Structure 1
Amino acid sequence: MKGISVFGSGRMGEIFAGNVAAHPGARLVSVMNPNIASARKLTDRFGGRPVGTPEEALADPEVEAVIISTPTTTHLEYIEAAAAAGKPILCEKPLDLNLERTDRCLEVLEKHPVPFMLGFNRRFDPQISALQRAVRSGEIGTLTFLMSTSREPAPPPISYVRTSGGYFADATIHDIDLICWIAGERPVEVFATGSCMVDPEIGALGDIDTAMTVMKMPSGALAHVNNCRRNVYGFDQRLEAFGSEGMIQTANQRDDDLIRWTSQQTDAKAPLKHFFLERYEASFRQELQEFLDALTEGRPPSATAEHGRTALAIALACEESRRQGRAIKPHY
């Protein structure tokens, strides 16, 4: 069993702690949070012990790997500490919100070459990973269009938006990573535009809650992403890949796939999964499995720090495009 310390005890910390505790090949050794009471809430449920500092967690010889699920602004500090201690790391996305600090993360990992995985969990969704394999195997011929729809039921609290780094770096970055991963290439230019149509407080911060992005790939393939922080029918998550020999789509998920007919309705289906934690529940479990498999097999994890830098560079180019109203070449 691999002994793991989870840094952070918020929403994502809870997901990781629960998945580690439930995994037959892992053991939750500790949960780290300067707020010990918060950490204890998770250890009371999932086992392990609460600790208040990264130094205490990393000094424990039972800790063989670290999962970082703390606020983005702390990632660099904790990556430095864990890497210097020789601990493999699974870190929630993004590495950071600016390229300079992201490059510092890469420098740290070059100096201390521990196994490192970035938490782009949607790669590990069964439908999405099957689509990626089909596209890369040539099932639909030459990729022409790649389209991603990602619409949330409601915007996050304004306190979260204030420190999120903007819509593209916070949310669209998932779609960006998937598109690059599926296509096997990264865009040479992006054009993005957006509006604030959901929450005026988001607009008052200079951010947006509704966006469309077009990316042009070196091959000529075009990718399109549409995002919105309001969707009355649930968490709408769809991908479509269109090529010279056909098309592949992923479907939204529901609690059941029954189709109902009554005197009041026809072709009726259950509502969509309502939140990303429900929609991507399987992907979080499979993400942890990939991390543990990589450690066991002695290979690099499939979602790397370099992938995180690429996705952030594109997200920042999207924001620049939105503000300038023109196509932008990402600075890789």
Structure 2
Amino acid sequence: MTKLGIALMGTGRMAHVYGPKINAHPGLTLEVVFNPRIASAQKVSQEYGGRPMDDLDRVLADPAVDAVVIATPTNTHVEYIIAAAKAGKPIYCEKPLDQTLERVDQCLTMLDAHPVPFMLGFNRRFDPDNSALQQAVAAGEIGRLNMLMSTSREPSPPPMEYVRASGGYFVDATIHDIDLMCWIAGERPIEVFSHGSCVFNPEIGAEGDFDLTMTQMKMPSGAIIHINNSRQCAYGFDQRVEAFGTDGLLQTVNHRDDPLMRWSATHTEARTPLKHFFLERYDASFYHALDEFHGAVTQGRAPSASQSDGRAALAIALACAGSAKTGKAVAPDY
């Protein structure tokens, strides 16, 4: 298997997701951990290996670095993407590309001028359950797709510092569901209609954001898509997809630590809460996403979840945010 030397850009929460996955993959080697603050780079390097570095130019000029995995804050993505593209390094980048279409378009212009393999980290496509459902829909197992529904509810609201920098609930969280639904349906909406409210944390509402949302997307084929999101869920990380077609129904179910289902006079089904958060529920998806990136780079094919997918998902998320604020249906700015 062809080996790729990886520079892991960033040392925050997502670095601790990707560090172990890079080390677990037989075709990837963690060569460098980058952070402008060298102490942070050293700390992550001690956990997962790689040389700590704080000079971006040196990282991108390093002959041992074949590709970069960008796991930095969203507002730095465009800067690092452009630098890596100019250096001719293949790029895997966490979602979203940016929080504004203007910055995304600047980034896409530079990627056109400096073409390198690029993949956006929409990891839920690579969850085995979601992947199996998408393949079944594409194979026509349920006939024509008529309705597609995504439920995505988090255990508890994030810290306010995160909320303030997130770009809003639709851009931060719903964008995952948006990309997943468009990928499964094989098309993008011509119109979205969203509602949002704040029922769990008044501080989030004071920031002009939501912690409870519902979105409907109208597709060119006539299919209807529904997405419901909540920043709080008493029973854990609720993640389900349902596809309804002319010939049947497909569903993914929640994961539990204890899969045994029980029935008695006092209770039914499982006794344990759902997998607590995305790090546990979608653990395997991050490995499969990196495997797709490795295969695309080493085999000379375009990675899935491209920059155009990233732009479309952001355009749809921003349209959802606009709809929730105005109470009107909005056409995404493709």
TM-score (norm 1): 0.98
1:286 aligns with 288
1:134 aligns with 136
Instruction: Provide the C-alpha distance between the structure 1 equivalents of 2:313 and 2:136, rounded to a whole number of angstroms.
Output: 22
How far is the alpha carbon of 1:136 from its aligned partner? Answer: 1.1
2:208 aligns with 206
How far is the alpha carbon of 1:56 from its aligned partner? Answer: 2.0
Instruction: Provide the C-alpha distance between the structure 1 equivalents of 2:270 and 2:74, rounded to a whole number of angstroms.
Output: 41
SS in 2 for 1:316: helix
Q: Unpaired segments of 5 or more residues in structure 2?
A: none
Instruction: Provide the C-alpha distance between the structure 1 equivalents of 2:87 and 2:14, rounded to a whole number of angstroms.
Output: 23
SS in 1 for 2:14: helix
How far is the alpha carbon of 1:260 from its aligned partner? Answer: 3.3
SS in 2 for 1:40: helix
The one-letter code of the counterpart of 2:15 is G
1:193 aligns with 195
1:260 aligns with 262
Instruction: Provide the C-alpha distance between the structure 1 equivalents of 2:268 and 2:198, rounded to a whole number of angstroms.
Output: 35
1:9-64 deviations in Å (ceiling 9; x for gaps): 10101111111112111110011011212111211111111111221211211000
User: What aligned pairs does 1:34-45 form with structure 2 within 5 A after superposition?
Assistant: 34-45=36-47
1:159 aligns with 161
The one-letter code of the counterpart of 1:232 is A
How far is the alpha carbon of 1:269 from its aligned partner? Answer: 3.5
Mean Cα displacement is larger for which, 42-51 or 237-246?
A: 42-51
1:88 aligns with 90
Identity of aligned residues (%): 63
How far is the alpha carbon of 1:250 from its aligned partner? Answer: 0.3
1:314 aligns with 316
Alignment match of 1:33 (pick from 27, 32, 35): 35
Contact 1:258-1:270 at 8 Å conserved across structures: no
How far is the alpha carbon of 1:130 from its aligned partner? Answer: 0.6
1:115 aligns with 117
For the structure 1 residues 261 and 246, does the alpha-carbon distance in structure 2 shift closer, same or farther, using more than 3 Å as the test?
Answer: closer
Mean Cα displacement is larger for which, 269-278 or 254-263?
A: 254-263
1:250-290 deviations in Å (ceiling 9; x for gaps): 01001131123567544333221001000000000100100
TM-score (norm 2): 0.97
Contact 1:257-1:269 at 8 Å conserved across structures: no
1:138-188 deviations in Å (ceiling 9; x for gaps): 110111100000000001110011010000000000000011100011001
Q: Unpaired segments of 5 or more residues in structure 1?
A: none
1:241 aligns with 243
Alignment match of 1:6 (pick from 3, 8, 14): 8
Contact 1:144-1:243 at 8 Å conserved across structures: yes
How far is the alpha carbon of 1:214 from its aligned partner? Answer: 0.3
2:224 aligns with 222
Alignment match of 2:20 (pick from 18, 21, 24): 18
Instruction: Provide the C-alpha distance between the structure 2 equivalents of 1:265 and 1:94, rounded to a whole number of angstroms.
Output: 42
How far is the alpha carbon of 1:327 from its aligned partner? Answer: 0.6
1:329 aligns with 331
Contact 2:258-2:270 at 8 Å conserved across structures: no
Instruction: Provide the C-alpha distance between the structure 1 equivalents of 2:332 and 2:291, rounded to a whole number of angstroms.
Output: 32
Instruction: Provide the C-alpha distance between the structure 2 equivalents of 1:265 and 1:320, rounded to a whole number of angstroms.
Output: 43
Alignment match of 1:144 (pick from 133, 143, 146): 146
Instruction: Provide the C-alpha distance between the structure 1 equivalents of 2:59 and 2:16, rounded to a whole number of angstroms.
Output: 17
What is the RMSD computed on CA atoms of the aligned residues?
1.1
Instruction: Provide the C-alpha distance between the structure 1 equivalents of 2:270 and 2:329, rounded to a whole number of angstroms.
Output: 42
Instruction: Provide the C-alpha distance between the structure 2 equivalents of 1:37 and 1:265, rounded to a whole number of angstroms.
Output: 51
SS in 2 for 1:140: coil
Alignment match of 1:232 (pick from 231, 234, 243): 234
The one-letter code of the counterpart of 1:46 is Y
1:184 aligns with 186
Contact 1:30-1:48 at 8 Å conserved across structures: yes
The one-letter code of the counterpart of 2:52 is P
How far is the alpha carbon of 1:241 from its aligned partner? Answer: 0.3
How far is the alpha carbon of 1:302 from its aligned partner? Answer: 0.7
SS in 2 for 1:11: coil
User: What aligned pairs does 1:45-60 form with structure 2 within 5 A after superposition?
Assistant: 45-60=47-62
